[in-house]
Amino acid sequence: MSILRKRLNEFDDALNAEEIDLINLKRLCFHGIPDEGGLRPLCWKLLLNYLPSTRASWSETLTRKRTLYKTFIEDLIVTPGEANSDGERVDVTLHDHPLNLNPDSKWQTYFKDNEVLLQIDKDVRRLCPDISFFQQGTDYPRKEIVNASGQRRLHHRVQHTVLRSANVERKGLGVTKIAVSVRKATEDYAPLAEGGEAHWEVLERILFLYAKLNPGQGYVQGMNEIVGPIYHAFACDPDQTWREHAEADTFFCFTNLMSEIRDFFIKSLDEAEFGINSMMSKLTTQVKVNDSEVWMRLHQQELCPQYYSFRWLTLLLSQEFPLPDVMRIWDSLFADENRFSFLIHICCAMILLLRDQLLVGDFATNVKLLQNFPSVDIQIVLSKAAALAGKNLNSP
Amino acid sequence: MAKKTYDLLFKLLLIGDSGVGKTCILFRFSDDAFSTTFISTIGIDFKIKTVELRGKKIKLQIWDTAGQERFHTITTSYYRGAMGIMLVYDITNEKTFENIVKWLRNIDEHANEDVEKMILGNKSDMEDKRVVSTERGEAIAREHGIRFMETSAKANINIDRAFSELAEAILEKTHGKEPQDAPDRVTVDRRVERNSNRCC
């Protein structure tokens, strides 16, 4: 029996149990989840506490969550003045209107939301530009959104509208020629036509709903890089029934993951126990303990951890490696019992692997090296990290 | 230790709202290329370019920052060491221009008093989408006594010039006024009467 076959069997056995043994599953996932058979999206849903360990309750949980997500869309993505579900247009001009200064005004909320949306819109259009996935259309667009003549499409709300000028040419009594210069931008991240939706539009909605439901936090740049890989995994599930609900499932898994790492995204918590600064100093300490020479080098060069590890830690390394490698890293991170100590181990391993270069490079060379991590076999990084964590990593 | 291959080291910083094109400007300057496919900058990014000014090799160490508020605690710590700061807005986006004032306040709070500043109105190739006129850009620069230029990273307009002018200004400051260097740099104001060439 091949090693892969054996591993697939192990996963099948673990996942098919009536009551899934999460500790065992985590142990398996830590060594990497095989790309085959939709195992990754399923395991992630379990590791991120979206699916309960009792298989019998899956269907009820999923139905409940997905219905809830539908109501989020209905309740939170509203344009004041639009026709309600009965097809009746609510009269808004009498009590509420765009110039209404009342803080409870629907229009006030709408304009406020659009500021958040503007930021999200900029970021989802520049997510993973090296792959074409996010620019492609989803097979499962939200019908209530895409068939509303653009009304409920989020990016519609923040589109730049400018008055176009035209050259008017009139010759005597002849025909007036109006030359409107329409320069069509060939935009890669173009929204799809009525009835269709690109994957980035789906992500825009997920992030917007998250920001609306978590007003204390809102949207912070970088969240797009967290939701992206999860959605990619779910939307590429070989099983159609899972794929169909990728959006709602992603939303809840993302929300659960954010609840664990949200401190990284909140400025006022930078100094707190689980804030980003303490994570960075944990990393520095670990480098010092394991390789004092490298630590000393960086220290003498005043190469602060903020220069590189702020991004590494905040984004769970999603900007440092190609997507397939990121997914492999996340298998281990999500399987980590004491999240996210393994993340620190990985970051430390990354630095130690560059030791020879760091010891000869000057400040500028070293910052560049750390900010653009050279392409390596991710297995080497993870094995080194596992060794630092006092674990063994099986090769796939 | 590697041999020192430059005469002077200048530290520059790029700031401005998210999406105005800071990373694109830097990429155009350092790699002479343009790409629409940039991921958003998280925290702080870094590039190096050596230029030659008045016979001196000057190494420019340029820090590119994230635009969003969340990253300010991280990014403002770089203000202190910066000798030159480029403030970027997007001429097709009113809000990014309005926020220039906010960014200037940030500089006042966190940077050295004698830091050289320059305002850049980027995306000047997108004339059909322009909402901030050149005059308004010039006016705010004049008001604060700062250099100003409209740039396009995409069409490669004024990018090199902006960096060399900023470097030139820093060079002049660090070396004091040398008699032979009659400043041939372009001043903020295109009209001659009252230009804002003063150092603040």
Query: What's phi and psi for A186, nearest 5 deg?
Result: -85, 90
Does the pLDDT at position A166 exceed 60? no
Say which residues have a Cβ less than 8 Å from residue A177's Cβ, sequence separation at least 6. A168, A169, A170
Contact flag A306-B71 (C-beta cutoff 8 Å): no
CATH at B66? 3.40.50.300
pLDDT above 90 covers what percent of chain A? 56
> Taking CA atoms, what residue in A is nearest to B60?
A364
> Which has more confidence, A128 or A13?
A13
Query: What's phi and psi for A314, nearest 5 deg?
Result: -60, -45
Q: Which of B39, B47, B69 sits opposite A129 (nearest CB)?
A: B39
Asked if A258 is an interface residue toward chain B (Cβ–Cβ < 8 A), one would say no
Does the pLDDT at position B94 exceed 60? yes
**Dist. CA A240–CA A66, nearest whole Å:** 16
- Residue A45 token pair: 């849903």
The pLDDT value given to residue A181: 44
> Which has more confidence, B40 or B97?
B97
Least confident of A135-149, A206-220, A253-267: A135-149
Q: What is the mean pLDDT of residues A353-357?
A: 97
- Domains of chain B: total: 1
> Which has more confidence, B186 or A31?
A31
Contact flag B19-A224 (C-beta cutoff 8 Å): no
* Parent domain of B100: 8-176
**This prediction's pTM:** 0.83
Question: Which residues of chain B have a CB within 8 Å of the CB of A315?
Answer: 42
pLDDT above 70 covers what percent of chain A? 84
Q: What is the ipTM of this complex?
A: 0.74
The pLDDT value given to residue B175: 72
Q: Interior CA angle at B100 toward B99 and B102, to 5°?
A: 65
Whether the bond into A340 is cis, omega within 30 of 0: yes
Burial, A17: exposed, middle or buried (Cβ in 10 Å; 0-12, 13-18, 19+)?
Answer: middle
Whether residue B199 is contained in a domain is answered as no
pLDDT, tens digit (0-9, with 9 covering 90-100), for A82-109 = 655 555 555 555 566 667 667 667 777 7
- A194 residue type, one letter: E
The pLDDT value given to residue A207: 96
User: Angle of helix A246-261 relative to helix A199-213, nearest 10 degrees?
Assistant: 50
pLDDT band of A263, cuts 50, 70, 90 = confident
Size of interface A-B (CB pairs under 8 A): 82
pLDDT band of B118, cuts 50, 70, 90 = very high
Question: Which residues of chain B have a CB within 8 Å of the CB of A319?
Answer: 39, 42
Does the pLDDT at position B181 exceed 70? no
H or E stretch at A75? helix A58-76
Whether residue B76 is contained in a domain is answered as yes
> Which has more confidence, A34 or A179?
A34
Question: Which residues of chain A have a CB within 8 Å of the CB of B42?
Answer: 221-222, 225, 310-311, 314-315, 319
**Dist. CA A311–CA A319, nearest whole Å:** 8
The pLDDT value given to residue A252: 97
Does the pLDDT at position A165 exceed 60? no
Contact flag B43-A314 (C-beta cutoff 8 Å): yes
Q: Return the residue in B42, B47, B48, B90 with the most chain A beta carbons within 10 A, the one to mutate for interface testing.
A: B42
pLDDT, tens digit (0-9, with 9 covering 90-100), for B128-162 = 999 999 999 999 999 999 999 999 999 999 999 99
Does the pLDDT at position B186 exceed 50? no
H or E stretch at B12? strand B8-16
Whether residue B181 is contained in a domain is answered as no
Q: Return the residue in A117, A180, A203, A221 with the most chain B beta carbons within 10 A, the one to mutate for interface testing.
A: A221
pLDDT band of A158, cuts 50, 70, 90 = confident
The pLDDT value given to residue A19: 96
pLDDT, tens digit (0-9, with 9 covering 90-100), for A198-254 = 899 999 999 999 999 998 888 999 999 999 999 999 999 999 999 999 999 999 999
Radius of gyration of chain A (CA): 25
Asked if B34 is an interface residue toward chain A (Cβ–Cβ < 8 A), one would say no
Query: What's phi and psi for B88, nearest 5 deg?
Result: -110, 135
Does the pLDDT at position A171 exceed 70? no
Least confident of A112-116, A343-347, A350-354, B154-158: A112-116
Whether residue B47 is contained in a domain is answered as yes
The B84-90 sheet, strands edge to edge: B44-53, B56-65, B8-16, B84-90, B116-122, B147-150
Whether residue B83 is contained in a domain is answered as yes
Helix (H), strand (E), coil (C) string for B145-179 = CCEEEECECCCCECHHHHHHHHHHHHHHHHHCCCC
Whether residue B184 is contained in a domain is answered as no
Contact flag B39-A319 (C-beta cutoff 8 Å): yes
Whether residue B105 is contained in a domain is answered as yes
Tell me the three state secondary structure of residue B47. strand
- B22 residue type, one letter: K
> Which has more confidence, B175 or A127?
A127
Whether residue B188 is contained in a domain is answered as no
Integer CA distances (angstroms), B93 to A143, A218, B124, in order: 32, 22, 11
Asked if A225 is an interface residue toward chain B (Cβ–Cβ < 8 A), one would say yes
Asked if B9 is an interface residue toward chain A (Cβ–Cβ < 8 A), one would say no
Q: What is the mean pLDDT of residues B22-33?
A: 92
Q: What is the mean pLDDT of residues A142-165?
A: 68
Asked if B94 is an interface residue toward chain A (Cβ–Cβ < 8 A), one would say no
